[in-house]
Structure 1
Amino acid sequence: MERWKKRNWGWKFADHLSELYVVALLLGVAGASFAAALPLASRWYPPQYQGLAMGIAGAGNSGTVLTTLFANRIAQHYGDWHIVFGLALIPVLVTFILFSILAKDSLNQPAPQKFIHYMNVLKQRDAWLFCIFYSVTFGGFVGMSSYLTIFFNAQYGLDPVRAADFTTICVIAGSFFRPVGGWLADKFGGIRMLIMLYSVVAIMMALLSSLPSLTIATSLLFVAMMSLGMGNGSVFQLVPQRFQKEIGVVTGIVGAAGGLGGYFLPKILGNIKLATGSFTFGFLILSGIAILCMLLITIVQRQWRRTWIGASGKARAEHV
């Protein structure tokens, strides 16, 4: 009881691993804003602009760049990780104020349905397919963002701050190329883009498995993270066209799948590294997963083109 009586609250709350789990849970709840932001943006734009609109809205994950670039430096400078959480409250508060003042729902927003109606999307195969695709693109981006600092530190002997700097270079690629991926998906089709991007990720991960020099590894990771970021935009060029009325709940489900992918990827890579003593096998597994996604979307695209989407994943002419 004495421990809890002396406990600091707010950003000074967590001092032990068990308490960090509570912080992680709260951050996960905050991350659910993704499921509200994307449908909010999506409903303001016609199908032919969904990729770009959703890509820009989803580019909020560029905040990861700020984390990798400044968090370690701030904690090292002040000698306390609590300061990082305290300073993070400032942009969160500013965002809250701006959102409260400026955000509006589209006039085209569908009427609310019963909860069971929304859950019916789980009976549809395409919802699960989008979960798989996004768990690899977004999950790969988030997971690698978390894991690369460890990789650069363990494989190349960089100190934590320098390792975070190299990670930032790669994270920038994934964050800022997401709208580009959405725009290209609008122009050339989400299906075509995903097939190409999964192929690039597979090649980059296969090359990384040889554990080349730091410069080459950083270049390969930059291209891989760029492709994953563009893949995020491409997936959400397709989702609003398939689930126009259920976009809110589908965004939440697909986004949750991406989050789970981001959780499991570092854990899997870490366990493989511990078991084998090398990062090689982890990168080879990631390459194989990307190949499987490429093959899967190649197979299902035929049925999609017959039912709800145009050639290569473009918006159908009657929806434009």
Structure 2
Amino acid sequence: MQSGFWKAGHTPTLFAAFLYFDMSFMVWVLLGPLGVQVSDALGLSPAQKGFMVAVPVLSGALLRVGMGVLVDRIGPKMAGLIGQAVVLAALAAAWLLGIHSYGQVLLLAVFLGVAGASFAVALPLASRWYPPEHQGTALGIAGAGNSGTVFAALFAPSLAAAYGWQNVFGIALIPLGVAFVVYVLLAKDSPDAPPPKSFKEYLAVFREADAWWFMFFYGVTFGGFVGLSSSLTIYFNDQYGLSPVVAGYFTAACVFMGSMMRPLGGMLADRVGGIRALSIMYAVAAFFLVVVSFNLPSSWMALLIFACAMQALGMGNGAVFQLVPQRFRREIGVMTGLVGMSGGIGGFYLASSLGLSKQVTGTYQTGLLIFAALAVLALIGLTRVKTRWRTTWGAVGVSAARI
């Protein structure tokens, strides 16, 4: 860790942002690890299974924009409190009333998207406390809250086997409640918050080409991460016949590797520059996604390759958000929402396309290959903009951070 980092910002807020993000991501992808049991109980087709686990991702993506606007209007702490209250209420209703149809599980999926929108709160909450040279590290730590997907994959299938999948929604209220209390006590809005912007100013961001580039770049890195996090339990169960519990363990291992790489990706970007770090991650992720698409003969081989792909995608997430605050520091709230939305849309596409690929072709290969191609396109795009970025807003003397 760089010297002076812990003195540069507000550590209690950074921890509160991480824990809030962590528990929110745990429930955001909850339907993925429960997908096998839920689909068996409701009699879902492969395409319906893929859509079920993709809807929370899409809902979270779209809600991130609104949450980003809310952050700029009322501050990240209050926005986070509102979001957590909505998720707690939705899980309590699902637990007490029960889920009895495909339509009901999709309705719950929409509300779970509010947990995914925590991204647009936790990152500005942490970011506003830290100077440019520590943005990659700070946002990498806060963003490592996506490790909550590990807990979902690790514990949800076994808890469902022991107590029934519907009761998992009630059990999830316990860690969420703890995170809520910690957030109330420790989180604090930075005094360096930018003034609220008008609707016209929000729309102005769309006229910036760099905003679209960041949206695309994160759509690939985070989209790949969360799409696989939501889909791998179903994949390992369907492709290799693993039980839901064992498939959950395999998924947890992959997600853990990807989650732990996010802060390292941010720190690496601080040291060598976000563009260079991100370029390497796209190339590595594309390679391993192509390899795993060829229906590897062993589940353990698939686990190893998916883990490597997830590490690259996780590091890429950290690298993208080393760059975003340098280019859009005063618009970080709305940009976090927009970029986060694009990441969720990428995850929705991957999760739903894997289910559709399986139903139409009988394998997951097409879905994986198309996403690998998107990673290659992102690498090409990054190569096109890097010179302009390094000679304008990322030039020495303009930014204190390495671009």
**Per-residue deviation, 1:248:** 0.4
Is 2:154 aligned against 1:66? Answer: no
CA distance in 1, matches of 2:401, 2:120: 28
Is the 2:357–2:366 Cα contact (8 Å) retained in structure 1? yes
- For residue 197 of structure 2, give the secondary structure of its aligned residue in structure 1: coil
Is 2:231 aligned against 1:139? Answer: no
**Per-residue deviation, 1:214:** 2.0
Q: Which residue of 2 aligns with 1:295?
A: 380
1:54-106, CA deviations, whole angstroms, 9 ceiling, x for partnerless residues?
Answer: 1111111111111011111111101x222111111111111111111111111
Q: Which residue of 2 aligns with 1:5?
A: none
Alignment match of 1:163 (pick from 222, 247, 265) = 247
Q: Which residue of 2 aligns with 1:217?
A: 302
Given residue 346 of structure 2, which amino acid in structure 1 is its aligned partner? Answer: G
Q: Which residue of 1 aligns with 2:371?
A: 286
- For residue 172 of structure 2, give the secondary structure of its aligned residue in structure 1: helix
Q: Which residue of 2 aligns with 1:177?
A: 261
1:107-153, CA deviations, whole angstroms, 9 ceiling, x for partnerless residues?
Answer: 21112222321231112111111111111111110110111112211
Q: Which residue of 2 aligns with 1:46?
A: 131
CA distance in 2, matches of 1:315, 1:160: 52
**Per-residue deviation, 1:310:** 4.0
Is the 2:277–2:319 Cα contact (8 Å) retained in structure 1? yes
Alignment match of 2:211 (pick from 121, 127, 138) = 127
- For residue 177 of structure 1, give the secondary structure of its aligned residue in structure 2: helix
Given residue 65 of structure 1, which amino acid in structure 2 is its aligned partner? Answer: V
Alignment match of 2:190 (pick from 97, 106, 111) = 106
Q: Which residue of 2 aligns with 1:198?
A: 282
CA distance in 2, matches of 1:319, 1:165: 38
**Per-residue deviation, 1:203:** 0.8
Is 2:329 aligned against 1:247? Answer: no
Given residue 77 of structure 1, which amino acid in structure 2 is its aligned partner? Answer: A
Is the 2:133–2:400 Cα contact (8 Å) retained in structure 1? no
CA distance in 1, matches of 2:94, 2:354: 33
**How many pairs were matched up?**
310
Q: Which residue of 2 aligns with 1:26?
A: 111
CA distance in 2, matches of 1:25, 1:52: 32
CA distance in 1, matches of 2:100, 2:350: 26
Given residue 176 of structure 1, which amino acid in structure 2 is its aligned partner? Answer: M
CA distance in 2, matches of 1:284, 1:319: 33
Alpha-carbon distance change, 81 to 45 in structure 1, aligned in 2, over 3 angstroms: same
**Per-residue deviation, 1:199:** 0.2
Is the 2:273–2:402 Cα contact (8 Å) retained in structure 1? no
Q: Which residue of 2 aligns with 1:273?
A: 358
Q: Which residue of 2 aligns with 1:226?
A: 311
Given residue 281 of structure 2, which amino acid in structure 1 is its aligned partner? Answer: L
Is the 1:186–1:315 Cα contact (8 Å) retained in structure 2? no
Q: Percent identity?
A: 52
Q: Which residue of 1 aligns with 2:40?
A: none
Is the 1:131–1:258 Cα contact (8 Å) retained in structure 2? yes
- For residue 52 of structure 1, give the secondary structure of its aligned residue in structure 2: helix
**Per-residue deviation, 1:219:** 1.0
Given residue 84 of structure 1, which amino acid in structure 2 is its aligned partner? Answer: V
CA RMSD of aligned residues (A): 1.9
Alpha-carbon distance change, 318 to 285 in structure 1, aligned in 2, over 3 angstroms: closer
Give structure 2 stretches of 5+ with no counterpart: 1-91
Give structure 1 stretches of 5+ with no counterpart: 1-7
